[in-house]
């Protein structure tokens, strides 16, 4: 995507040809700054401190982390150590495990002298693949926005989204926001309600930044406004991303997503989830088994923003000594999901629906190919 007239991906190689550049997302929307990461430890810290975040980007960043580790020491022991270090950074997005396992499979069978080249090539392939998968999600999801546009008549299609599932969460384009960009670029009038997404406010700081930079009309709303907006007929469809989707279509996404799905169901508003195949955990059936990340109390008791003097400051919003709970994700059951928008097309949120698009997983899902047609 373009920032200040220049095309950026969220992750790319530095001009030295080996270290990694990322956009520091903790500074947005106030400062656009690149960070250079030159070791597996720096990559692990960038993921856990959320310098980079969003399921697909976490996966690709971890892949480059493994490449940096192999460059420093290509032996089996270092490979295993790097895999463990990176896998422990964030628990919910399955893209992390998927990316690390794919890197191991690409690198480990080769002699140490060849591993560095293999690792960088695989990480680059994963970055390219993520960008092209997100573009495909945009093309498939466009049909949903077009259908809503036909129902909306002359007014813009009104879409509600939660957290940030745009290009900043991926390598390019995004998942939930890819169909929005595709529709906007195709000349379909769209308007996006953006949940602020406490506690870290990824909606307010990242989604608003992205959509505004691309010229998509958007309005920030508090996390609790969605139900009211849906009751009043102000939302045509909800579009959100996913950090982990089970094989039967239960969806883990940023905390608060489930409440939006409940409100959408009560008000007859379609609730679509956009995700690449890398976000599907074929080993899990029930969303209750998805590990939910618990983050620090400070993210709840404190808020960061720009003060009236212009400096970015952190302020406390609760009485001293307040205890806070901070589950970072929740699970929306498949029965509340209207459809899953993937790079291969649109699936019913069910095991049969997903296996119809990903038949190579039919065995793992316990379905015979004949049962997969939806
Ligand atoms: O904690 P974050 O900011 O990494 O959470 C991000 C989300 O929940 C996104 O909606 C999700 O990763 C889907 S991304 C394209």
What was the pLDDT predicted at 373?
A: 40
Ligand 1-lining residues (CB < 6 angstroms): 53-56, 93, 163, 165, 169-170, 175, 202, 241-243, 253-254, 328
Backbone torsions φ then ψ of 327, nearest 5 degrees: -70, 130
By residue count, the chain amounts to 374
Average pLDDT over residues 223-252: 98
State which ligand 1 atom lies nearest to the alpha carbon of 241: 13
Name the token pair of 78. 């270092």
pLDDT at 371 over 60: no
Percent of the chain with pLDDT over 70: 98
The pLDDT tens digits for 157-182 are: 999 999 999 999 999 999 999 999 99
Higher pLDDT, 373 or 254: 254
Q: Token digits for 272?
A: 């679509």
Each residue of 60-98: pLDDT tens digit?
999 999 999 999 999 999 999 999 999 999 999 999 999
CA of 166 to the centre of ligand 1 (A): 9
Distance 93 CA to ligand 1 centre (A): 8
Crossing angle of the two packed helices 76-87 and 55-72, in degrees rounded to 10? 150
250 is catalytic: no
pLDDT digits (tens, 9 = 90+) for 93-126: 999 999 999 999 999 999 999 999 999 999 999 9
pLDDT of residue 364: 78
Q: Which residues of 256-267 are buried (b: 16+ CB within 10 A; e: fewer)?
A: bbbbbbbbbbee
Cα–ligand 1 centroid distance for 251 (angstroms) = 12
Q: From 10, 138, 169, 341, give the residue whose CB has the most ligand 1 atoms within 8 Å, as the site to mutate.
A: 169
pLDDT of residue 367: 63
Distance of CA 246 to the CA centre of its chain: 15
Q: Is the pLDDT of residue 183 over 90?
A: yes
297-328, pLDDT tens digit by residue? 999 999 999 999 999 999 999 999 999 999 99
Instruction: Tell how far the Cα of 374 is from the centroid of ligand 1, in angstroms.
Output: 29
Measured between alpha carbons, how far is 343 from 276 in angstroms, rounded to an integer?
A: 6
Q: Which atom of ligand 1 is nearest to the CA of 202?
A: 3
Active-site position among 130, 172, 236, 243? 243
pLDDT confidence bin for 372, thresholds 50/70/90:
very low
Pairing of strands 237-240, 271-274: parallel
Output Rg (C-alpha) for the chain, integer angstroms. Answer: 20
CA of 306 to the centre of ligand 1 (A): 23
Atom of ligand 1 nearest to the CA of 174: 15
pLDDT for 341-365, tens place per residue?
Answer: 999 999 999 999 999 999 999 987 7
The preferred substitution site among 55, 96, 245 for testing ligand 1, maximizing ligand atoms within 8 Å of CB, is 55
The share of the chain scoring above pLDDT 90, in percent, equals 95
The predicted pLDDT at position 374 comes to 39
**pTM (two decimals):** 0.96
Average pLDDT over residues 267-295: 98
Instruction: Report which ligand 1 atom has the smallest distance to the Cα of 176.
Output: 15
């Amino acid at each position: 995507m373009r920032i200040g007239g220049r095309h950026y991906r969220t992750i790319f190689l530095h001009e030295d040809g080996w270290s990694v550049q990322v956009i520091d997302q903790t500074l947005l929307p106030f400062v656009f700054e690149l960070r250079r990461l030159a070791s597996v430890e720096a990559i692990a810290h960038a993921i856990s401190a959320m310098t980079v975040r969003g399921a697909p980007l976490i996966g690709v960043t971890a892949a480059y982390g493994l490449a940096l580790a192999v460059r420093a020491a290509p032996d089996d022991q270092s490979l295993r150590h790097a895999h463990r270090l990176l896998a422990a950074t964030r628990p919910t997005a399955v893209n992390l495990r998927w990316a690390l396992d794919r890197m191991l499979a690409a690198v480990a069978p080769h002699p140490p002298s060849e591993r560095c080249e293999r690792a960088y090539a695989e990480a680059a392939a994963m970055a390219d693949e993520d960008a092209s998968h997100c573009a495909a999600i945009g093309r498939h999801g466009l049909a949903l926005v077009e259908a809503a546009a036909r129902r909306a008549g002359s007014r813009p299609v009104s879409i509600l989204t939660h957290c940030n599932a745009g290009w900043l969460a991926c390598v390019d384009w995004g998942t939930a926001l890819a169909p929005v960009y595709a529709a906007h670029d195709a000349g379909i009038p769209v308007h996006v309600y953006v949940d602020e997404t406490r506690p870290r406010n990824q909606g307010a700081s990242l989604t608003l930044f992205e959509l505004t930079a691309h010229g998509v009309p958007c309005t920030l709303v508090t996390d609790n406004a969605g139900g009211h907006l849906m009751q009043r007929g102000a939302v045509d469809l909800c579009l959100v991303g996913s950090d982990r989707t089970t094989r039967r279509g239960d969806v883990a996404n940023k905390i608060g997503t489930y409440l939006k799905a409940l409100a959408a169901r009560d008000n007859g508003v379609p609730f679509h989830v956009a995700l690449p195949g890398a976000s599907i955990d074929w080993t899990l059936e029930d969303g209750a088994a998805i590990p939910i990340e618990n983050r620090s109390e400070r993210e709840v008791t404190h808020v960061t923003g720009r003060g009236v003097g212009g400096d970015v400051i952190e302020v406390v919003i609760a009485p001293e000594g307040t205890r806070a709970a901070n589950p970072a994700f929740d699970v929306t059951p498949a029965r509340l999901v209207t459809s899953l928008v993937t790079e291969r097309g649109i699936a019913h949120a069910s095991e049969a629906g997903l296996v119809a698009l990903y038949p190579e997983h039919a065995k793992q899902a316990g379905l015979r190919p004949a049962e997969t047609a939806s």
